[in-house]
A and B are shown apart, each in its own frame.
Chain A
Amino acid sequence: MSGMHPSSNEPRRVLVLDDEPLILLDLEFAVEDAGCKPLTALDLVEALSIVQNNAISAAILDVSLGQGQTCEQVARALAALGVPYVLHTGDLDRMDEAVRSLGGTLVPKPTPASVVVARALEPLTVRHQ
Chain B
Amino acid sequence: MNHNSFNDSPVPDRTDQAHTAFDSSVARFRAQHPEDTFSGASGVLFEQAMAQTRMAICLCDPHEPDMPIVFANRAFRHLTGYEEHEIVGRNCRFLQGPHSDRSALVRIRNALANEEVTVVELLNYRKDGSAFWNALHLGPVYDAEGKLVYFFGSQWDVSDVRAARAEELHARELARELSHRMKNMFAVIGGIVNFTGRVRGVEAEAREINDRIQALGRAYETTLDDSRRGTVEVGQAIRAVLAPYDPDGTRFRFEGNGLRSDFGAVSVLGLSLHELAVNAIRNGALSTDKGWVTVAWRKNGSADGPAIRIDWMEHGRGSGVPDSDSAFSGADGIVDRMLDMARGGIVREWHSEGLRAKLNIPLREAAE
Contacts and interface: CB of A to CB of B under 8 A. Distances in A.
A29 B194 contact: yes
Given A26-B190, A91-B176, A109 B183 contact: yes
A112 interface: yes
Given A91-B176, A110-B214, A112-B210, A22 B191 contact: yes
A55 interface: no
B71 to A, nearest CB: 47
Contacts, number: 57
B187 A23 contact: yes
B194 to A, nearest CB: 5
Contact of A23 (B188, B198, B217): B188
Nearest to A27: B191
B184 A26 contact: no
Contacts of B188: 20, 22-23
Contacts of B186: 109-110
Contacts of B214: 110, 112
Interface of A: 20, 22-23, 25-27, 29-30, 64, 90-91, 93-94, 108-110, 112-113
B22 to A, nearest CB: 55
B350 interface: no
A93 to B, nearest CB: 7
Interface string B196-208: 0010000000010
Contacts of A29: 194-195, 198
B192 interface: yes
30 contacts: A20-B184, A20-B187, A23-B188, A23-B191, A25-B191, A26-B190, A26-B192, A26-B194, A26-B195, A29-B194, A29-B195, A29-B198, A30-B194, A64-B180, A90-B179, A90-B180, A90-B181, A90-B184, A90-B187, A91-B180, A93-B176, A94-B176, A109-B183, A109-B184, A110-B190, A110-B217, A112-B207, A112-B214, A113-B190, A113-B194
